Homo-oligomer: A and B are copies of this chain.
Amino acid sequence: MRTAVVLVSGGLDSATTLALAREDGFECYALSVDYGQRHRVELQAAARIVATLGAREHKVVKLDLADFGGSALTDASMAVPTAPSSGIPSTYVPARNTIMLSLALAWAEVTGSRDIFIGANAVDYSGYPDCRPEYLQAYEAMANLATKAGVEGARLRIHAPLLRLSKAEIIRRGADAGVDFSQTVSCYQPTQTGLACGRCDSCRIRRKGFADAGIADPTAYV
């Protein structure tokens, strides 16, 4: 059976991505990164999602990106924006997807997986440079030169099945693939018990996605 490493953050995009990877016939190694994010309930959500959808193994790698600072998602002294911003917002975590994909690449090598799935999205991507198609293509090219598998002639693929979908389309695809969205957390600043603020960028995009999809929003807001 073909195996894939799937990055699972606990949000609805990565939950849908895991469901789609399984639909594609992959046995999945689910990888979450504990990077010092404010919204740690995300990691609990990731565990619930993986338990429900199923995976060969779920690993949580700890890496303290808060050490570097520079993002409202890891730096408690920076405010999470609650109004739409132009340009790259302060919730951007420097090099996040590059770091996550690199950890996925390491696990893919060890498990002999040729496929890596990430829930990156270029439509509702909130202005992050590392969610663009050209970035992912360049990552894949690099990955094929970086690894033992690549040297030995195998072809590594970075899959981003949500890349060109709107949030509403992601929600419809996820619902069809059996995702329980009540298990997912999108909010950048949820309460300790996992209630969403309803005001940050991520909550706004999520809420509008359910409305546009015509699917009831199961999110518990404060």
Chain A contact residues, CB within 8 Å of chain B = 59, 61-65, 67-70, 88, 92-99, 102-103, 105-107, 109-110, 129-130, 132, 134-135, 138-139, 141-143, 145-148, 150-151
Contact = CB atoms under 8 A, between A and B. Distances in A.
A94 B70 contact: no
Given A88-B148, A94-B105, A129-B145, 15 more contacts: A59-B67, A61-B63, A68-B110, A69-B110, A94-B147, A94-B148, A98-B142, A98-B143, A102-B102, A129-B147, A129-B150, A132-B145, A135-B146, A138-B145, A141-B142
Contacts of A129: 145-148, 150-151
26 contacts: A62-B62, A62-B64, A68-B106, A68-B107, A70-B106, A70-B109, A88-B148, A88-B151, A92-B148, A95-B102, A95-B103, A95-B106, A95-B146, A98-B106, A99-B99, A99-B102, A99-B106, A102-B102, A129-B145, A129-B150, A130-B146, A130-B147, A135-B145, A139-B146, A141-B141, A141-B142
A105 B99 CA distance: 9
- Copies of this protein in the assembly total 2
Contacts of A145: 129-130, 132, 134-135, 138
A186 B109 CA distance: 25
A130 B151 CA distance: 10
Nearest to A110: B70
Contacts of A105: 94-95, 98
A70 B109 CA distance: 8
A143 B145 CA distance: 15
Contacts of A132: 145
Contacts of A142: 98, 135, 138-139, 141-142
A83 B158 CA distance: 36
A146 B95 CA distance: 7
The 3 closest A-B CB pairs, nearest first, are A70-B110, A94-B109, A95-B106
